[in-house]
Amino acid sequence: MPPATLPPAAAPRRRPARVRLPGRQWVDLFYDLAIAAGIIALSGSFSSDHSAMGALWFAVTYAVMGCLWFITSALTGAYSADPPGPSAGWVALVVVQLALVLLLPVAAGDELAAADAVFDLLLGGALVVSVVLALRGPGRGPARSGPVAGLLAGAAVVLGGSWWAQGPATVIVWLLSLALVGAAVGILASSRGMDPHRVAHRLGELTIVVLGEILVKLVLTLAEESLASVSVAGLAATFAVLILVWWGYFGLAQAGADLSRSARRLVWVVAHFPFHLGLLALAVGLAKASVGSSTLTEHGAWWALLVAPAGLSIGALVVLRRAAHPAPRPPEPDSA
């Protein structure tokens, strides 16, 4: 009797290859790249209009961008010592929010009356996406807390009220919405769930982006002029300021920063906004000084583009230094 033959074994099924997503740190750096592009557009608008209203619009726009950058970094786990891995849906949400934030300075560059409605829509959309990230994203600890999502949702709802507000009520609605966003930043910055080293590192990365804007603005301004218009003294002053700020921040303030206490960490985070704002405004003034622009001879231009931004940056840098390096307490006298 012939031996029984076994049926051929079925070939093992191959699992479909999973799409590998970029690491979380690359998503964070991609977000930084969008912030850098937005900063270029924002500084261009300030260069054209550095009046009191233009400066206020410039400050508000950067404050909004900076707050959303900090909140999104928290929601992606950038301040966690053990960050979670990204998912496809999470990356898609971050990209959508990134696009909305990128368009904010573009809208701010239009006339105030025309930009108001578009800016509100973009900011409202970015806040809604942030709420979804807070509730469904991979962030852990404080980023997943109800108060943060509630504050962002409240800011979006309040901002929607600006469409029906009239006159001074519009300003009140705006201030309330921005205050809610700032409160969310405060909760995250002072939370014990934040890794102090990661907080210092991420804000250092954003500071590099802002310092790079000084070079970008300088190159763009020089490209619009001839070499004959370049002021050697102005160009030397620009590089001197750039090197001094870079050394002062990374050598004196950021190096060895002790952000273990929540109060110090909160001051450290908040002080970066005026520090960066002053540097961005100073980039415009230094670029104009490098080509001997006649703009600096206009009434108030020297103050708005050089003196006030330099004072703001230096003051904020002093605060950063003191927050990260508190003075040692004197030894207590012996009771004996």
Residue 90 lies in a domain: yes
Q: Do residues 184 and 152 lie in contact, with contact meaning Cβ atoms separated by under 8 Å?
A: yes
For residues 245 and 255, give the distance between their C-alpha atoms in angstroms, rounded to a whole number: 14
Using pLDDT thresholds of 50, 70 and 90, give the confidence band for residue 4: low
**Domain-located, residue 132:** yes
Residue 18 resides in a domain: no
- Residue 305 covered by a domain: yes
Domain presence at residue 141: yes
Alpha carbons 69 and 63: distance in angstroms, whole number: 10
The contacts of residue 260 (CB under 8 Å, 6+ apart) are 196
Measured from the Cβ of residue 17, the count of other Cβ atoms closer than 10 Å reads: 6
Residues 30 and 152 in one domain: yes
What is the arithmetic mean of pLDDT over 180-187? Answer: 94
Q: How confident is the model at residue 138 (pLDDT cuts 50, 70, 90)?
A: low
More confident residue, 313 or 300: 313
287 and 203 co-located in one domain: yes
Residues 36 and 176 in one domain: yes
What is residue 125's predicted lDDT score, i.e. its pLDDT?
Answer: 93
Position 335 in a domain: no
159 Cβ neighbours under 8 A, 6+ residues apart: 120, 123, 124, 127, 173, 174, 177
205 and 238 in a single domain? The answer is yes
Same domain, 170 and 229: no
Tell me: do 34 and 181 sit in the same domain. yes
Mean of the per-residue pLDDT values of the chain: 84
pLDDT tens track for 251-278: 999 988 889 899 999 999 999 999 999 9
**Domain tally for the chain?**
2
> Residue 112, by phi and psi: left (phi above 0), alpha (psi -120 to 50) or beta?
alpha
Has residue 330 been placed in a domain?
no
CA distance 313 to 234: 19
Amino acid of residue 307: V
* In-domain check, residue 136: yes
User: Do 182 and 202 reside in the same domain of the chain?
Assistant: no
Average pLDDT over residues 218-247: 86
Domain stops at, among 129, 161, 190: 190
- Write down the pTM of the prediction: 0.86
Same-domain pairing of 259 and 317 = yes
* pLDDT over 90 (residue 107): no
85 and 182 assigned to the same domain: yes
Cα–Cα nearest to 140, from 205, 183, 78 = 78
pLDDT bracket for residue 57 (50, 70, 90): confident
Task: Give the tens place of pLDDT for each residue, 60-101.
Answer: 999 999 999 999 988 888 888 776 666 777 888 888 999 999
CA pair distance 290, 286, nearest whole angstrom: 6
The last residue of a domain, from among 158, 190, 222: 190
Q: Are residues 117 and 227 in the same domain?
A: no
Q: Which of 167, 190, 213 is the last residue of a domain?
A: 190
Two tokens at 180? Answer: 């809610």
Name the residue range of residue 186's domain: 24-190
Residue 190 near residue 183, CB atoms below 8 Å: no
Domain shared by 42 and 159, yes or no: yes
Q: Mean per-residue pLDDT for 110-139?
A: 78
185 and 202, same structural domain? Answer: no
Q: What is the 3-state secondary structure (H, E, C) of the chain?
A: CCCCCCCCCCCCCCCCCCCCCCCHHHHHHHHHHHHHHHHHHHHHHHHHCCCHHHHHHHHHHHHHHHHHHHHHHHHCCCCCCCCCCCCHHHHHHHHHHHHHHHHHHHHHCCCHHHHHHHHHHHHHHHHHHHHHHHHHCCCCHHHHCHHHHHHHHHHHHHHHHHHCCCCHHHHHHHHHHHHHHHHHHHHHHHCCCCCHHHHHHHHHHHHHHHHHHHHHHHHHHHHHCCHHHCCHHHHHHHHHHHHHHHHHHHHHHCCCCCCCCHHHHHHHHHHHHHHHHHHHHHHHHHHHHHCCCHHHHCCCHHHHHHHHHHHHHHHHHHHHHHHHCCCCCCCCCCCC
